[in-house]
Structure 1
Amino acid sequence: MTAALVTGATGQDGSYLCERLAAEGVQVHALVRPSAGGTDEAGLAHLREAVPGLRTHVADLADGDALRAVVDAVEPDEVYNLAGISSVAYSWKAPVETGVVSGIAVAALLEAAWALQERTGRTVRVVQASSAEIFGSAEQVPQDESTPIRPVTPYGAAKAYAHHMVGVYRGRGLHAATVILYNHESPRRPATFVTRKITQGAARIAAGLDSTLTLGSLDVLRDWGWAPDYVEAAVAALRAEAADDFVVATGVAHSVEDFVAAAFDRAGVADWRAHVRTDPAFVRPADAALQLGDATRARDVLGWRPTTDFDGVVAAMVDHDLDLIARDRR
């Protein structure tokens, strides 16, 4: 039986991935943080219910020795690294923590996987969830795998270090791939992200629970996709014949304003402008330029294509939030 180690298992992508792997008969091992480090107990409970035979391992990403001990104990065939600081905004508040958790920890995990491969003589496959933030202020639009890496945020810088380390270990003989993920959403996205803040806000306003929603800039453009699609890309990249880097994106850009308009329309609120306020306090110190991905390589090599468009993503999220409110009222 194939054994897979998934970091960030209780997050949006991790939960979809664990369920997807278990459905095909893979033995899933989830790396979770110590309780003092803020383990997502609700997410972990969901995983234990949704993933038959799930095995959990407790380790702090900042503890390289602990990561190596988990890899040595599990002896995985596949390693999916989805863990790390997930918020660009938070990375400005904690740049050092971001560098350790989203950058240095990846190097420790790659070293552990390479050492396991050397010790056992069998292939260990690794995929790193990279990010469009590594491109920073890219002059090239859309961006692809050849776009220069020059991040403009602590989050992007940490991800860039990790991305380069994957290339280093690939050169060392490890089957290490990256998926350069553009923004991707689902009903499992936490409310700390602007997309879920929008869909929850629209649902609450439609239900009469709130009257206003406060956001930052509405002009920011992003390439938004469907999280389960991006999980499929990660699996395909890890299992590809040759390890490589793959941009995973829809190739279509929408503004935050587009997201707001679609969410309020789906919730049945006619005039979203009457309910939305902007506050400079929610604007980041610096933001990346237009993030628009060219997923040609993923399409041609992996056979990957997105299955859900922008309107479908927004609709799924709003419907979920409306359903949560309806359930609470029963």
Structure 2
Amino acid sequence: MPKKSALITGITGQDGSYLAELLLDEGYDVHGMVRRASTEKFDRIEHLRDQITFHQGDLLDQRSLVDAIRSSKPDEIYNLAAMSFVATSWIQPTLTADFTGVGVTRMLEAMREAAPEARFYQASSSEMFGKVLEVPQTEATPFYPRSPYGVAKAYGHFITVNYRESYDLHATSGILFNHESPRRGLEFVTRKITWHAAAIKHGLQKELRLGNLDAERDWGYAKDYVKAMWLMLQRDTAEDYVIATNQSNTVRECCEIAFDEAGLGDFSKYVVIDEAFVRPAEVDHLIGSYDKAERDLGWKPETTFEQLIRLMTKADLELLKP
């Protein structure tokens, strides 16, 4: 039986790196799409570089997407690339719309032209729920996005549904709630907290500046979540799935666990509240039900929030060790 081939956009990101590991373990021929840049950032996949075939492409450039798909001949396409930091979406709203929203259409059009039999995964987001209309959120909960990023993701989600229904493509959206890991970017609040806890412990920093300590999120482990992406494309029927933990935690709780793991005690001695980090429109209570994913895919989260923050803090303590 020939090896399956998969193309991952956003392969150099957190999710892309964990997904590449999973697919390689499953025996796939893994291809990654990367944008041309003057400085390449391959640190998350450095240990995999000789096992992956790379293709230059950009979600803003239709022709490059067709070429990448023709070259990789994928059985599965995972569209993880996006302008992925919510705060930046207020600073660059039109770029966010073009990249995170319209870029999905370009990807689907390229697939329709070059690999219509492939299976397509779209990285949708819990930020689409925004000002939530019910708790917990399910696949049937209406969207009410509260950021340009959330609006763009909602467009990407609905265009995926539209192409599935219009062209009979095997196109699935995974509505993933916040998922973290030691590979998370430093601008994201969980990693910002674990990195600063480690830096303060090692005497490299004196304080941590944060916004709303009472903001709640449903946080899971990225390594668990990429398995759900893969499981979705193993089904013969394409459907959309919420991937979450069905539990919410606050930024405050994240601080408590990280500073405890770092052996620093009371985090409030080190945390400064800074209005610069408060969002123009906050998303207060995201919590997702993974019932459908458990029923159809046999998937459920395997890592608790406390385990996640402790493993991230340990990794940062090791990373910053003098």
TM bracket (short chain): over 0.9
2:137 equivalent among 143, 163, 182: 143
Distance change >3 Å, CA 190–CA 117, structure 1 → 2:
closer
Q: Deviations over 1:78-133 (max 9, x none)?
A: 00011101100011110111111111111111112122345xxxx31001110001
Find runs of 4+ consecutive structure 1 residues off by over 6 angstroms. Answer: none
**Cross-structure match for 2:37:** 35
Write the mapping of 1:221-232 to structure 2, written as runs, cut at 5 A.
221-232=216-227
Give how far 1:186 is off: 0.3
> Which whole-Å CA distance do the structure 1 matches of 2:119 and 2:68 have between them?
16
**Cross-structure match for 1:14:** 16
- So what's the TM-score if we normalise by structure 1? 0.94
> Which whole-Å CA distance do the structure 1 matches of 2:280 and 2:47 have between them?
35
* 8 Å Cα contact 1:116/1:124 also seen in 2: no
The count of corresponding residues between Structure 1 and Structure 2 is 319
Write the mapping of 1:229-240 to structure 2, written as runs, cut at 5 A.
229-240=224-235
Distance change >3 Å, CA 265–CA 186, structure 1 → 2:
same
> Which whole-Å CA distance do the structure 2 matches of 1:185 and 1:113 have between them?
29
**Cross-structure match for 1:209:** 204
> Which whole-Å CA distance do the structure 2 matches of 1:105 and 1:71 have between them?
15
SS of corresponding position for 2:171: strand
> Which whole-Å CA distance do the structure 1 matches of 2:68 and 2:133 have between them?
41
SS of corresponding position for 1:35: coil
RMSD: 1.2
Q: Deviations over 1:174-193 (max 9, x none)?
A: 00001100001000001111
**Cross-structure match for 1:62:** 60
* 8 Å Cα contact 2:69/2:115 also seen in 1: no
* 8 Å Cα contact 1:68/1:108 also seen in 2: no
Percent identity of paired positions between Structure 1 and Structure 2: 45
SS of corresponding position for 1:88: coil
* 8 Å Cα contact 2:70/2:115 also seen in 1: no
**Cross-structure match for 2:74:** 76
**Cross-structure match for 2:48:** 47
**Cross-structure match for 1:4:** 6
Please tell me the residue identity of whatever aligns with 2:120: V
Q: Which runs of 5+ in 2 are unaligned?
A: none
Give how far 1:232 is off: 0.4
Give how far 1:46 is off: 3.8
Q: Deviations over 1:38-64 (max 9, x none)?
A: 642434534305xx2x10001122111
Does the alignment pair 1:128 with 2:122?
A: yes
Does the alignment pair 1:220 with 2:220?
A: no
Give how far 1:318 is off: 0.3
Write the mapping of 1:243-262 to structure 2, written as runs, cut at 5 A.
243-262=238-257
**Cross-structure match for 2:305:** 310
> Which whole-Å CA distance do the structure 2 matches of 1:33 and 1:117 have between them?
21
Write the mapping of 1:191-210 to structure 2, written as runs, cut at 5 A.
191-210=186-205
SS of corresponding position for 2:8: strand
**Cross-structure match for 1:165:** 159
* 8 Å Cα contact 1:181/1:247 also seen in 2: yes
Please tell me the residue identity of whatever aligns with 1:300: R
> Which whole-Å CA distance do the structure 1 matches of 2:36 and 2:115 have between them?
27
> Which whole-Å CA distance do the structure 1 matches of 2:181 and 2:134 have between them?
28
- So what's the TM-score if we normalise by structure 2? 0.96
Please tell me the residue identity of whatever aligns with 2:198: A
> Which whole-Å CA distance do the structure 1 matches of 2:40 and 2:164 have between them?
31
Q: Deviations over 1:273-321 (max 9, x none)?
A: 1111110011111122311001110010010011100011001100001
1:177 equivalent among 172, 175, 178: 172
1:153 equivalent among 147, 159, 169: 147
**Cross-structure match for 1:110:** 108
SS of corresponding position for 1:86: coil
SS of corresponding position for 1:285: coil
> Which whole-Å CA distance do the structure 2 matches of 1:98 and 1:244 have between them?
25
> Which whole-Å CA distance do the structure 2 matches of 1:89 and 1:23 have between them?
35
